[in-house]
Amino acid sequence: MRKVQLEVRQVVGGQQSVINNNDLHDLHYMRMVIKEVLRLHPPAPLLPRRAREDCEIMGYKIPEGTNVQVNIFVICRDCRYWDAPEAFKPERFKESNIDHKGTHFEFTPFGAGRRQCPGMLFGTSTVEIALANLLHHFDWVFPDGPNPGSLDMSEKFGINVRRKFDLELRATPYVLSKAA
């Protein structure tokens, strides 16, 4: 978290109170972090679809009208597409042109095609601006001390995916030191 927080504070600078779109465009590492979070924890792990015509996929015959569930959770953790798929490595997106807009089927946290999530751009923009502001204006620590290794990332599955256990952090306002 320190690395992305440092990037936000360097790009935004000083005690600027409003982060704008130009700032967001320059937050490359933060965008990689968001992509990696979406890869490991897609908002909708299963995407329901219906076959519009008879087809065959990998030897399986799928009749027209069949309901199919695309398992985004598994695809985003498939070692055929991702090196060390269970590891949190935002840098994997550094030299990659993979985006979350549905054109790269190994990474479709919002679906693809005509049934893609209509709120994708609004949602990602909101996450970017909120995260940038939270990282810029606050320092974050675990209430029981710095032990991120004990963080339980278990998930609770349903129509969407959420953490099984709440994440508790303590925020303290960030004050720019005069020496900086």
Bind-site residues for heme: 117
> Residues annotated as binding site?
117
Q: Nearest Cα to 35, choosing from 81, 102, 86, 98?
A: 98
Strand positions, DSSP E, 1-53: 46-50
Q: Which residues share a beta bridge with 89?
A: none
Residues 110 and 117: beta-carbon distance below 8 Å: yes
Distance of CA 60 to the CA centre of its chain: 32
